[in-house]
Structure 1
């Protein structure tokens, strides 16, 4: 298993994701960028969750989107909230 060192000591990240999936698309146009994502969360090969947030505003002018394992995205959002 991968190990990531942090100020709080050693923490481990999963190599076997549980809730995965989604598609994210971003389109640049003259006046800005449009981002969209589906809200499905798969557990194995079955869509189990139908309202998973995959886009998050960060600050006044930024938006972040993530696909794949939801816990990784939640961890990133936690760090960003601490920085804000």
Structure 2
């Protein structure tokens, strides 16, 4: 399980991309996932899916740590 501290931005600069599809489940707290300059508020119990190669960034603007399960899966 990953813990995203208050005020953290992943990655710290620019946007992330990778060769795998990204799946994320928020266990507790909340985060903002930005894809194509659109912000999505994701809270406990929510899940996300980002296709391989899609530029994105994750930010924790909440007053608490956000706990997530992240999985990267190589598309076939």
Fold conserved (TM > 0.5)?
Answer: no
Larger strand proportion, structure 1 or 2?
Answer: 2
User: Structure 2 length as normaliser, TM-score?
Assistant: 0.27
User: Structure 1 length as normaliser, TM-score?
Assistant: 0.26
Larger helix proportion, structure 1 or 2?
Answer: 1
| Greater C-alpha Rg | 1
